[in-house]
Amino acid sequence: MTRQKRYAAGRARALGLATRGTTAPQRLRRVDRWLVAVHGDVLRRAADPLVVDLGYGATPVTAVELHGRLRALRPDVRVVGLEIDPERVAAAQPAAADGLAFRRGGFELAGLRPVVVRALNVLRQYDEAAAADAWRVLQGGLAPGGLLVEGTCDEVGRRAAWVALDADGPRTLTLAAHLATLERPSSLAERLPKALIHRNVPGAGVHALLQELDAAWDRAAPLAAYGPRQRWVAACAALDRPRDDRRSRLGELTVPWGTVAP
């Protein structure tokens, strides 16, 4: 199948196919608090503080939460939840509020030009090629200086991984975990975004990252007596690779995309 046909297939699914709308309150809290803390300036400085939550799911609860969190940063923020499923758009209308709206739309972003797009647990439903094309379309739809956050998490948001992209390409991969329930860092593998989930094989950058994290986690075992947070912080600090571990106390680790890119 040509790339064009694959993308057409992806678009057809985006516009027509029923997909699971699984969501839950507070499921996306980790990505939201990272967005506010690490990339808050994107929204603070925006000429037009428009944010899209793409694929908000069966209920608009995480879009409502996103709006609340971003309003604290930028009181005039406008969050638009976009869904391909018209019934979900209709069902979300009672939750609309000042600065929060719900519309039908897909990767074309309904013609909007947001400064931030959050697309969590959406692209995992597509094949790899369609997801890669979706990245490009979404990047092209960003306002100047804009940010796309695309990733995946478990049902209650205790394991998550997301990629931050700007108009030029992917910039970082962030892993995030509820440390009290984390068995091993490599258990985050099952939450990797579509671009990486099939690439977690020996020889690949993301595989090396998870292996190194596991080894550092093992070496830090004595610190488990002080709690899993101390152990994770030590494991991240021991990594001999480029990383941003300033938020490791929160169970996060961010690495440059170039170190894990397939």
Residues in touch with ligand SAM (CB under 6 A): 14, 19-23, 27-28, 54-57, 62, 82-85, 88, 106-107, 120-122, 125
Q: How far is the CB of 191 from ligand SAM (least distance, A)?
A: 12
Give Cα 132 distance to the centre of its chain.
15
Q: How far is the CB of 60 from ligand SAM (least distance, A)?
A: 9
Give Cα 231 distance to the centre of its chain.
25
Among candidates 72, 71, 54, 58, which has minimal Cα distance to 25?
58
Strands 100-104 and 252-256: unpaired
**14/253 with CB nearer ligand SAM:** 14
Q: How far is the CB of 44 from ligand SAM (least distance, A)?
A: 24
Would you state the structure tokens that stand for residue 100, as one six-digit string? 């929060």
**128/245 with CB nearer ligand SAM:** 128
- 39, with CB counted inside 10 A (0-12, 13-18, 19+), is middle
Q: Which amino acid is at 69?
A: R
By beta carbon distance, the residue nearest ligand SAM is: 55
**30/78 with CB nearer ligand SAM:** 30
Helix (H) or strand (E) holding 152: strand 147-153
**57/170 with CB nearer ligand SAM:** 57
Contact assessment for residue 235 and residue 220, using Cβ atoms and an 8 Å cutoff:
yes
**9/204 with CB nearer ligand SAM:** 9
Q: How far is the CB of 153 from ligand SAM (least distance, A)?
A: 7
Q: How far is the CB of 52 from ligand SAM (least distance, A)?
A: 9
Q: How far is the CB of 117 from ligand SAM (least distance, A)?
A: 11
Distances (CA, A) of 262 to 138, 178, 197: 20, 26, 10
**112/236 with CB nearer ligand SAM:** 112
**54/234 with CB nearer ligand SAM:** 54
Q: How far is the CB of 150 from ligand SAM (least distance, A)?
A: 11
Q: In what order do the strands lie in the sheet with 100-104?
A: 100-104, 78-83, 50-54, 116-120, 147-153, 159-166, 169-177, 252-256
Side-chain-facing half-sphere of 100: CA atoms under 13 Å: 20
